[in-house]
Amino acid sequence: MNSIGIVVNPAKPLTRKILPEVVEWLQKKNVHVLVLKERELSCIDPSLFISPEALNLKCDFVIAMGGDGTLLRAARYIKESSIPLIGVNLGSLGFLTEIVIDELYPSLEKILSGNYRIEERIVLSSTFPTGKTFYALNDIVLHMGTSGRIIGIEIEINGSPLAKFSADGLIISTPTGSTAYSLAAGGPILHHGVEAQILTPICPHTLGLRSMVFSIDEEISIRLVKGKGIFVVDGQITVEVNETFSFTVTKADYKILLVRATQRDFYEILRTKLNWGGI
* 278 within domain boundaries: no
Angle between helices 104-112 and 15-28 (to 10 degrees): 30
- Return d(Cα 93, Cα 75) in angstroms, integer: 18
By residue range, what is the domain housing residue 32?
3-116+261-273
Catalytic residue chosen out of the listed positions 68, 139, 168, 234: 68
Count: domains in the chain: 2
Here the CATH number for the domain that contains residue 160 is 2.60.200.30
Same domain, residue pair 220 and 236: yes
Nearest to 71 by CA among 60, 83, 53, 58: 83
Q: Does the annotation mark 102 as catalytic?
A: no
The pLDDT score that the predictor gives to residue 93 is 66
The pLDDT score that the predictor gives to residue 189 is: 96
Predicted confidence pLDDT, tens digits, the chain (279 residues): 689 999 999 888 888 889 999 999 999 999 999 999 887 788 888 889 999 988 888 999 999 999 999 999 999 999 999 999 999 998 766 788 889 899 999 999 999 999 999 999 999 999 999 999 999 999 999 999 988 899 999 999 999 999 999 999 999 999 999 999 999 999 999 999 999 999 999 999 998 899 999 999 999 999 999 999 999 999 999 999 999 999 999 999 999 999 999 888 888 888 888 888 765
DSSP state, residue 188: P
Whether 84 and 193 map to the same domain: the answer is no
Confidence (pLDDT) at 223: 98
Domain shared by 104 and 71, yes or no = yes
Indicate whether 183 and 106 sit together in one domain: no
Do 151 and 216 sit in the same domain of this protein? Answer: yes
